Amino acid sequence: MPRVYICICNAVTDDHIYEVAASCADLAELTMRTGCGSNCGSCLNAAAELLVKARAACVMPQSALLNLGTMSNR
């Protein structure tokens, strides 16, 4: 998949946001850790949307958690 720049000013890609999203509490922390949005700010909406998507992808579905519990009982 081609690299997609979310923040041109600081060369922050969608892959970079996905890498750090799980450990970022909010958009301000994402900005602090990546520089995304710290210059002109035109990327902040796209960065916020990607942060939400990336964090949602990190959440394990409840059914998967239940399956893990039954596997450990064996």
Check residue 67 and give its pLDDT: 56
Q: How would you write the pLDDT of the chain (74 residues) with one tens digit per residue?
A: 788 999 999 999 999 999 998 888 999 999 999 999 999 999 999 999 999 998 887 765 555 545 555 555 44
- What domains, with CATH codes, occur in the chain? 5-72 (1.10.10.1100)
Residues 6 or more apart whose Cβ sits within 8 Å of residue 28 = none
- Where would I find the H helices in the chain? 14-21, 27-34, 44-58, 62-72
